[in-house]
Structure 1
Amino acid sequence: MFCVKYKRVICKFDKRYIIMRTKIFILLMVLFFGNFVWSQNRKREVIDYLKKEMKEKKIPGCQLVIIRSNTILLSEALGVATVPFSTPVKKNTLFSINSISKVFTSVAIMQLQEQNKLNINDHISNYIDSIPENWKRITIKQLMSHTSGLPDIEDDKGLISNKGQDSAWLKVKKIPLQSEVGEKFNYNATNYYILQRIIEKCSGTAFEKFVRKKQFDIVKMKQVYYGNSYDVIENKCPTYTYYCQDKISGEYVKGTKLRETYEEFPSKMITDAGAFTTAEEMAKWITGLQTGKLLDKNEDIGTIWEPVKLSNGSYDGFGGLLNAYALGWPVIIRTNHSAVASLGGGRAAFVIYPKDNLTIILFANLTGIFPEEIIEKIAGFYVPDIGK
């Protein structure tokens, strides 16, 4: 009799347990499909917005990658890579990322500091010889943040000497400083020309070889190349522009005719610009940096992302959204949702919103589109008060 009652109690318990598990399962499925539908709707909204921007700005093609908590939420390739042949952009299409190359340099410097081969507060005279006396008190940090006051080794046409990089280096050393050291933000290539020399001296190897071994290989970033626009590289797309130089004023003005740009990146200045890669490959590098694969110390990421104050205590940067500059990284300083960014040639960019665990990468093949502004609008789909 006892056994029968006991079995009935067990049976009732089993039924309740099964019912409870079924309800939990149904709830989880509802949540799963709800999140799935929300994600798909959000993806559709983002793509629709980007297509609208492409149409308005006449962008031939682009790649977009969105990362949340080190996981890719969205990866899209839109439009055409080569206009004359209507070749579609694919996820393995290579884009010129120009000055985004500076972030590789920034991390390379910190890697060498972790190896005790340099310190960012060291004077550059510790590492390079034959420089003007008033250059000797400039620090590595001031090179990285463009607060050195150095004259520019380039002008609107390229190197300031038509006899090559070494000749340009000799010539720039004879030009007066643009400002006192630490006084102003002057974005120019001389800073990163010197950084390449310092990295190669301290590492004992060529810069490209160093970053491939210490960065690209570690994060399995296989599709990244240094070169020029005329180099023949598989899957590389051209860069286009509507701007042309006015023959009288020398200024660049926007026209109606689409042109293919010609870019040459000096070999001794690839710390400054000259890389080609894809948005998904860039995502590997960004995720690797944020998950501790590239720098041993978490505080070193904070160091390269910390906005640098000028000697009067203020900040300066590219202006507008990018109101400050760190060590190779433009910065968005604001009360909420501050961010760090990287820009290349007015067509490629990525923005990292650290507190929101959000990163957005946008590579396009049309210059002059202000990609950081498009990214900011896309970020608003995931963080509604992003700009407030």
Structure 2
Amino acid sequence: MLRLVTVFILGLFSTQALAQSEKPAGEAPNAVVSGLIQKRMANAHIPGAQVAVVRHGQVAMLESYGLANIEHQAAVTDDSVFALNSITKVFTAVAILQLAEDGKLSLDDPISRHIDDLPLAWRGISIRQLLNHTSGLPNIIDDHERIIGGGDAASAWALVQTLPIQSRPGDRYSYNQTGYVILGKIIDRLAGEPFTTFIETRQFQAAGMTHTRFGDSSDIVANSAGSYTTIENVNGRWVDRGRLAAAFVEFPVFFRTAAGALSTAEDMARWMIALHSGALLKPSSLVELWKPVRLNNGDLGGPNDFMNGQALGWPIVVRPDHPAAAAVGGTRSAVFYYPDDDLGIIVVTNLQGASPEYMMDRLAAAYIPDMDESTGFGLPYSIQRLRAQLLERGFDRARQVASRLKADNPAFVLKENDLNAWGYKLMEQSQPQQAVAVLKLAAELYPNSSNAYDSLGEAFQNSGDRQRALENYRRSLSLDPANQNARQRIADLEQGLAD
């Protein structure tokens, strides 16, 4: 029943599988990437997409797929322009570092050095803390992701200053748009021109990004790829409605340091090449750009378990091998750069909810062999240990193997969500018996979890064992009488067994 975050969690484990790689022996990396993209588009009902790969400073792949506009059946071309949403923040971070290189600010300046008339609690917050979402500021958007104050710049700014601070600066990571509005004000003042002009000149024009601009659904944009969605914000939660609809996005000009850039995969590849080559920033500034923040207690702060760190404008995948800078936008587009491998991958789509960020490692594996899913790359450490032992001793001994690992190392912990997500991935890869073994272990370790039994029921159902599926759905429902998924599955299975 890990369906409550289907796209996100299953996608998170897209590189974390037992199965052998989908890459046929000898198939060229670009062909592998193209095949994976087209499969993902079909499975997730993504209307249109562009993909670019940058390898050793060169564009190694550039492809366009599907429809830019469903209504007019207009195909995506390399000139189609896609919304980047929060990927825009990486341009803002580079702009701030360019001003630092110009000697106009320091990342550790308190924002009160550059902005007047701030609330007292805000004045000591640093520019760095705005960039890495550790400022503790109240958010200038509400739970429905609408700008407060009716969307008007002056009203929103006045209202957000009356709201209480959320945490002491540096104490915790909390994704925040207010900080990026402030960064826009700082760029305006220090650059002596609107931040949009500064970014357009110092980045878009400098990198040769001929299709890139700022805008939203209210702007007339040549070659616009449009915007579609299957998800809806209901009382602050994103719910998949399962129905494709046109999406309207609005980013007022004052908000366009946080979101509002429009671009193509080819332009983003040019920007990535310019960034890495030193055309936009010095090498020392690149080190600052991608350095993950440490909170006041020394811990990493980041968006989730996958993108487990945050740098300046960029979420970061922090890990010993193949770390990545991971810009994401609107759950529709992603820009990943693997600095140790000099590899960049850009995927832009016109579907909110496509979440390509969670397949980027899988695409990277086409070029980096030891990231291939057949190696178990990317699994949480405890799952890697379990996987290695199960491959050697057999999945039917999962409980004994887990007990031995725990006995050997009392700190060894198998998290329910990790087991659950791996089990679903095994089902996705047509390995039903292995999935049953893993999800059975999750239920044994977490016997009071309705979700664990629901998932195990689905694994048995997927394997063709309807009776054991029914038993586990009943157990799930007894633990959580509100579980409508289990209730419906029970009704369907009882009807099937009666027929």
TM-score (norm 1): 0.87
Whole-Å Cα distance in 2 between the matches of residues 41 and 239 of structure 1?
32
Q: Percent identity?
A: 38
**Matched ranges for 1:41-120 at <5 A:** 41-120=28-107
Q: Secondary structure at the match of 1:293?
A: coil
1:290 aligned partner: 276
- Unmatched 5+ residue regions in structure 1? 1-37
1:213 aligns with 2:201: yes
Offset at 1:245?
4.2
Q: Secondary structure at the match of 1:62?
A: strand
Offset at 1:163?
6.1
1:197 aligns with 2:213: no
Offset at 1:385?
2.3
1:330 aligns with 2:315: yes
Offset at 1:252?
3.2
Map Cα deviations across residues 123-146 of structure 1 (whole Å, 9 max, x no partner).
Answer: 000011111111111000000111
Whole-Å Cα distance in 2 between the matches of residues 160 and 147 of structure 1?
21
Offset at 1:349?
0.6
- Unmatched 5+ residue regions in structure 2? 1-24, 372-376, 379-499
Q: Secondary structure at the match of 1:286?
A: helix
1:154 aligned partner: 141
- Greater C-alpha Rg: 1
2:343 aligns with one of 358, 361, 368 = 358
**Matched ranges for 1:170-189 at <5 A:** 170-189=158-177
Q: Is the 8 Å Cα contact of residues 349 and 361 (structure 1) preserved in structure 2?
A: yes
1:313 aligns with one of 298, 318, 326 = 298
Offset at 1:65?
0.5
Change in CA separation of 1:339 and 1:174 when aligned onto 2, cut-off 3 Å: same
Map Cα deviations across residues 278-331 of structure 1 (whole Å, 9 max, x no partner).
Answer: 000011111000000011x21100001000110000011110320000010110
Letter in 1 for 2:181: Y
Whole-Å Cα distance in 1 between the matches of residues 358 and 291 of structure 2?
21
Q: Is the 8 Å Cα contact of residues 151 and 252 (structure 2) preserved in structure 1?
A: no
- Comparing both structures, which one devotes a greater share of its residues to helix? 2
Q: Is the 8 Å Cα contact of residues 309 and 318 (structure 2) preserved in structure 1?
A: yes
1:370 aligns with one of 336, 344, 355 = 355
Map Cα deviations across residues 93-112 of structure 1 (whole Å, 9 max, x no partner).
Answer: 00000111111111111111
Offset at 1:40?
6.6
Letter in 2 for 1:305: W
Map Cα deviations across residues 191-239 of structure 1 (whole Å, 9 max, x no partner).
Answer: 0000000011011111111112111111111111111113111100111
2:242 aligned partner: 256
Offset at 1:42?
2.6
1:266 aligns with 2:252: yes
Letter in 2 for 1:152: N
1:125 aligned partner: 112
Aligned residues: 349
RMSD: 1.6
Letter in 1 for 2:307: L
Q: Secondary structure at the match of 2:182?
A: helix
1:381 aligns with 2:366: yes
Q: Secondary structure at the match of 2:28?
A: helix
Q: Secondary structure at the match of 1:158?
A: coil
Whole-Å Cα distance in 2 between the matches of residues 211 and 250 of structure 1?
32
1:223 aligned partner: 211
Offset at 1:244?
2.7
2:324 aligns with one of 339, 352, 360 = 339
Q: Is the 8 Å Cα contact of residues 97 and 345 (structure 1) preserved in structure 2?
A: yes
TM-score (norm 2): 0.68
